[in-house]
Chain A
Amino acid sequence: MTPVTVAFWGVSAVAVATAVMCITRRNPVASALYLIGTLFSVAVLFVLLDAQFIGVLQVLVYAGAIMVVFLFVIMLLNLGRGGPGDMKGPVGIATAVLLASGLLLQFRVLRQAAPPEAIRLPEGALVALQRERGVVGAVAGPLFGEYVIPFEITSMLLLAALVGAVVLAKRRL
């Protein structure tokens, strides 16, 4: 039981707890805040898993930008209060619990979780790469190298999203 493992389980517990709170609060603002909590915890998990860059990105983009947009929209639509109708009735709850448990059951396959031999790298390969190119450089290298085309397409996607969001939210087209 290394300290890393302990920390990992602890942060995981926080993540799961905040996620449960997120999906069960009546008030949308509360849900949003709890979700931010979850995102933070996941960011910590990222760091514990040697993905420091991704962890920082998580905080900056997800928790920072996306959740802020969410909160802006909630405020804009004046949904701050949250009403009784926001959760489904008993039938809905039963359905949800049933289906979710079913889904969780399916994930039992994760017991034997290990990538196949063919693509498995040696133990410390990732860390070695990071030491060599730097934490950011390890990701940036392939990003502008192998995956430059998806990168460019993503930029187009962002442009489309930008235009779409502006048009959709216009009061008068």
Chain B
Amino acid sequence: MLLGPALVVSAVLFTLGVAGVLLRRNAIVIFMCVELMLNAVNLTFVALAQRIGVAGHVFVFFVMAVAAAEAAVGLAIILAVFRHRESVDLRDIDLLKG
């Protein structure tokens, strides 16, 4: 019943998340936008669960668990990088160069 609108909202949120990843230089803020994208996906799953069944909810459950783990590890990495470069600006993190 609310499926269509929910999907539209989720699409918009996902796009905003992508835009945020492309727009920002601060690594932590980029991470936050990634979380935004994950949320949009969660919304999609929940919306579809009305038609497909409670498997949608179970999936969202797992996504949240993984997101939590990912957030912990990712932020730890950012901390470690910060200790080296004194900065979380993406311009300064170019060890992949070459």
Q: Which of A82, A99, A139 contacts B57 (CB 8 A)?
A: A139
B9 & A12 in contact (Cβ 8 Å cutoff): yes
Proximity string of chain B (1-21) to chain A, C-beta cutoff 8 Å, 1 when within and 0 when not: 011111111011111111110
B23 & A96 in contact (Cβ 8 Å cutoff): yes
CA distance A59 to B84 in the complex (A): 34
CA distance A167 to B77 in the complex (A): 10
List chain B residues, Cβ under 8 A from A92.
22-23
CA distance A65 to B55 in the complex (A): 24
A142 & B58 in contact (Cβ 8 Å cutoff): yes
Considering only CB atoms, which chain B residue lies closest to A167 in the complex?
B76
List chain B residues, Cβ under 8 A from A142.
54-55, 58
A51 & B49 in contact (Cβ 8 Å cutoff): yes
A87 & B64 in contact (Cβ 8 Å cutoff): no
Proximity string of chain B (65-85) to chain A, C-beta cutoff 8 Å, 1 when within and 0 when not: 111111111011111101100
List chain B residues, Cβ under 8 A from A82.
26
Give the number of residue pairs across the A-B interface with Cβ within 8 Å: 231
Shortest beta-carbon distance, B49 to chain A, in Å?
Answer: 6
Known: A12-B5, A31-B32, A169-B79. A126 touches B53 (CB 8 A): yes
Q: Residues of A at under 8 Å CB distance from B?
A: 4-5, 8-9, 12, 15-16, 19-20, 22-24, 28, 31-32, 35, 38-39, 42, 45-46, 48-51, 53-54, 57-58, 61-62, 65-66, 69-70, 73-74, 76-77, 79, 82, 85-88, 92-93, 95-97, 99-100, 103-104, 107, 110, 113-115, 119-121, 125-126, 129, 138-139, 141-143, 147, 150, 154, 157-158, 160-162, 164-169, 171
Top 8 nearest A-B pairs by Cβ distance?
A23-B20, A161-B69, A168-B76, A96-B22, A100-B19, A107-B11, A165-B76, A165-B72
A-B residue pairs in contact (CB < 8 Å), sample of 19: A5-B5, A23-B36, A28-B26, A49-B46, A49-B47, A73-B78, A92-B23, A93-B23, A107-B14, A110-B7, A115-B48, A115-B51, A119-B52, A120-B52, A126-B54, A154-B62, A154-B65, A161-B69, A165-B72
